[in-house]
Chain A
Amino acid sequence: MNKVDLSVKIAGIDFKNPLIMASGTYGFGKEYSEYVDLNELGGISVKGLTLKERKGNPPPRIAETPAGILNSVGLQNPGVDAFIKDDLPFLKQYKTKIIANIAGNTIEEYCEMAEILGSSEIDAIELNVSCPNVKAGCLAFGTTPKGIEEITSNVKKYCKQPLIVKLTPNVSDIKSIAMAAEAAGADCISLINTILGLAIDIHKKRPILANNFGGMSGPAVKPIALRMVYEAAQAVKIPVIGMGGISTSDDAIEFLLAGASAVMVGTANFVNPLCPIEIKEGIEQYLKRYNYNSIYDIIGKLELN
C-alpha cells in the first residue's frame, strides 16, 4: 500500500505532520524528550512567554474535573530572553517546528517580544490573547473583535515569522473574532484556549484553585472546541489549528474534518506522553483505510446534515 503524506503547510511553514504540542502543556520540550522522540512531532508551541520572568500563581494550580482539568499556572516562565538563550538551543537540535507563544500586559510588550523573537530561530509566533489566569492584559485583548484587531495589526508589524493568533472560547461569537484576526493580518488562528471554570472544595467551602477560577481543558471540552473550530474555519480563509480535548486519533480526525489544518495536543500528554505518536499512527491508518494519499484529503471535509 502507498505511504500516506501527513505533511501540511501552514502560513508558509512545512510541518512534517499535523501534530503540534499545545502551549503550556509541554514546557520547552525537555521533559518530554525523555519519553518521545521530538523529531516525530510536527511542532511544539512552547510554554507562554512574557517579556520579563513571571513567578506564576500560588498553588494549588490544578483541579481535576470530570474528564478534564482546571489549571491556573499564571504564565510562570523565565522571560523571552532567557528562553532564547537557555531553552531554544535545546529545541533546535530537533527537526520539529518551534512556535513561541507570547503573552503580555500591554500591546507594546507583545510588540517588543515579537521584535526580540524576530532575530531568533523560532518558526512562528503564537499570540496568546486568551490566557484566563493572569490579572492584567492577555485575555482582555482577545474577547472583542476590536481588541483582537488592534493587537494583531500592531504585533504583525514587528513579526518576522508567521503570526498565529490563539483565540479564547470565552466569547459569544467566535466567527467575528476569527474574522477580525484575519482582517488584521494574522497568518493563522489557533483555538481553543481553555474555558474559564470553577471547582469547589465542599468541605472547605472554597475554590480548589488558589486563584479561584481556572482554565478548563481535557476530553470534556472537545465538543465545544470542535464546534468553535468548525465555525471559525467556515468564517476565515487563513488556516486554522484546532485543539481542545484531543487524546486519540479519532479526536484529531474530527478536528481535521471540521476544518483544522493541524491539531494541538495538550492535556492528553500528561496522561500518556506517547499519545502524539499514537495519534499520528492512527491518522495514517485512517487515511490508508479510506485510500487517501494526503492529509489534505480530509481537512475541512465535514458535510453537515
Chain B
Amino acid sequence: MSKVLKEQIDNMEMLCQDVFKMTIKSEYVAANALPGQFVNVKCGGIDALLRRPISICDVDKAKNTFDIVFQIKGNGTEKLCHKCAGDVDIMAPLGNPFLIDDKYKNICVVGGGIGTFPLLYLLKSSKAENKTALLGFRTKAAVVLENQFRAAAQNVEIATDDGTYGSKAFVTDLLEQRILELSKLGQKLDLIYTCGPTPMMRKVAAIAEKNNIACQVSMEQRMGCGIGACLVCACKTKQGEDEWGFSHVCKDGPVFWSTDVCWE
C-alpha cells in the first residue's frame, strides 16, 4: 500500500549534467518499496501542478533511506533539483514492480539513459546466480552509477552512442552479442528486464521474443494521478485473443511483460 508522506531529504547530489540523485529518509518506503516501483513527487509551485513520477533507484534498509535519480526535463524537475534539504511531499511506493523469482537464474538488465536507474535496485534485490547489466548512454559524460552497477552484477557492459566510453554501439547490439556468447557456452538468459526509450525497449522485446526469453519492460507515459484513477497514462496492451485495450502505466505498470504490450 502506498501513502502520502512528508519525508526529510537526506542528501542531494549531482551525478552529471542535469542528473541528480536525491536520498530521502523514509522508514515506510525503505521497508515497502519493491524494484520497479516509483514515487510521485510534489515538486512545488502552481506552475508545476502535477506530481512527477520518478522511479526508485536504490533502497538502504539499514539506513531507512531510498534514492531517486532524475534528469531535469522541465519545470517540475528543475524545481526539484534545487531542493537540498527539508521535507519533500511524496506518494509512495507506487506501481507494479519487476518480478523477482528464484526460478530465473540467469538474468540480464538492459537500460538506456535515465532508464538505467530503476534497474540498479532490481539487480541488488535479485538473488539470481548470474546477473548481467547492459547499459547504454549518449556519451561518456552521461555515464552514471557505473560502480554501483558493477557491485550489483557479475557482468557489466556499457555502450555509448558516440563511442566515447565502452563500446560504440546500441545497447541492443550488446544484448544480441551476449545472447550469442551464452549460446556458445550452451547457456541461456532466463529473464530480461528493460527500461529506457521506447524504440530501445521495442527492440529488446523483439530480441527476447526471437530468442524465446521472458522479458519485462518498464513503460513510461505522461501521468496524472499516479494511482490508477484518472486513466491518462494509457498503454496499449493485449487483452485476450485478438483483443486489445488501454492499460495504465501507473497502476497496471510501469512493469509489463513485453509480450503483453502492443508495440506499434
Q: Give residues in A with beta carbon < 8 Å to B.
A: 24-27, 31-32, 34-35, 47, 55-64, 66-69, 71, 73, 76, 208, 218-219, 267, 269-274
Evaluate contact between A26 and B229: CB separation under 8 angstroms. Answer: yes
User: Interface stretch among B45-53, B147-155, B168-176?
Assistant: B45-53
Evaluate contact between B221 and A59: CB separation under 8 angstroms. Answer: yes
Say yes or no: A73-B4 contact (C-beta < 8 A), given A62-B224, A64-B49, A271-B42: no
Contacts of A269 in B (CB 8 A): 225, 229
Task: State A184–B85 Cα separation when bound (angstroms).
Answer: 58
Task: State A55–B229 Cα separation when bound (angstroms).
Answer: 15
Select from chain B the residue with minimum beta-carbon distance to A27: B229
Contacts of B231 in A (CB 8 A): 27, 47, 56, 61, 73, 76
Contacts of B251 in A (CB 8 A): 31
> B47: which of A32, A34, A66 is its contact (CB, 8 Å)?
A66
User: Separation in Å of the B43 CB from the closest CB of chain A?
Assistant: 10
Indicate with 1 or 0, residue by residue over B210-233, a CB within 8 angstroms of chain A CB atoms.
000000000001111111111111
Evaluate contact between A62 and B222: CB separation under 8 angstroms. Answer: yes
Evaluate contact between B246 and A55: CB separation under 8 angstroms. Answer: yes
Select from chain A the residue with minimum beta-carbon distance to B239: A55
User: Separation in Å of the A86 CB from the closest CB of chain B?
Assistant: 15
Select from chain A the residue with minimum beta-carbon distance to B235: A59
User: Separation in Å of the B95 CB from the closest CB of chain A?
Assistant: 12
Task: State A267–B224 Cα separation when bound (angstroms).
Answer: 9
Q: Give residues in B with beta carbon < 8 Å to A.
A: 1-4, 42, 46-51, 75, 91, 221-236, 244-246, 251
Task: State A57–B235 Cα separation when bound (angstroms).
Answer: 11
Beyond the given A25-B225, A27-B228, A58-B234, please list 13 additional residue pairs across the A-B interface where CB-CB is below 8 A: A25-B230, A27-B231, A55-B244, A56-B231, A57-B234, A61-B234, A62-B233, A69-B49, A69-B50, A71-B230, A71-B232, A76-B231, A272-B4
Say yes or no: A34-B222 contact (C-beta < 8 A), given A27-B228, A27-B229, A271-B51: no
> B2: which of A34, A56, A208, A270 is its contact (CB, 8 Å)?
A34
Evaluate contact between B225 and A219: CB separation under 8 angstroms. Answer: no
User: Separation in Å of the A29 CB from the closest CB of chain B?
Assistant: 8
20 A-B pairs within 8 Å (CB atoms) are namely A31-B228, A31-B229, A35-B3, A59-B232, A59-B233, A62-B232, A62-B233, A63-B222, A64-B48, A64-B49, A67-B46, A67-B47, A67-B49, A71-B224, A71-B230, A218-B49, A269-B229, A270-B225, A271-B49, A271-B51
Task: State A35–B244 Cα separation when bound (angstroms).
Answer: 31
> B230: which of A24, A55, A218 is its contact (CB, 8 Å)?
A24
> A56: which of B4, B50, B223, B246 is its contact (CB, 8 Å)?
B246
Contacts of B227 in A (CB 8 A): 31-32, 34-35, 273
Evaluate contact between B234 and A56: CB separation under 8 angstroms. Answer: yes
User: Separation in Å of the A205 CB from the closest CB of chain B?
Assistant: 18
Select from chain B the residue with minimum beta-carbon distance to A73: B231
Contacts of B226 in A (CB 8 A): 270
Select from chain B the residue with minimum beta-carbon distance to A61: B232
Task: State A66–B219 Cα separation when bound (angstroms).
Answer: 26
Contacts of B48 in A (CB 8 A): 64
Evaluate contact between A273 and B42: CB separation under 8 angstroms. Answer: no
Task: State A57–B42 Cα separation when bound (angstroms).
Answer: 27
Contacts of B3 in A (CB 8 A): 35
Task: State A88–B59 Cα separation when bound (angstroms).
Answer: 39
Contacts of B4 in A (CB 8 A): 35, 272-274
Contacts of B229 in A (CB 8 A): 25-27, 31-32, 269
Contacts of B234 in A (CB 8 A): 56-59, 61, 76
Task: State A30–B221 Cα separation when bound (angstroms).
Answer: 22
Task: State A100–B74 Cα separation when bound (angstroms).
Answer: 37
Contacts of B224 in A (CB 8 A): 62, 69, 71, 270
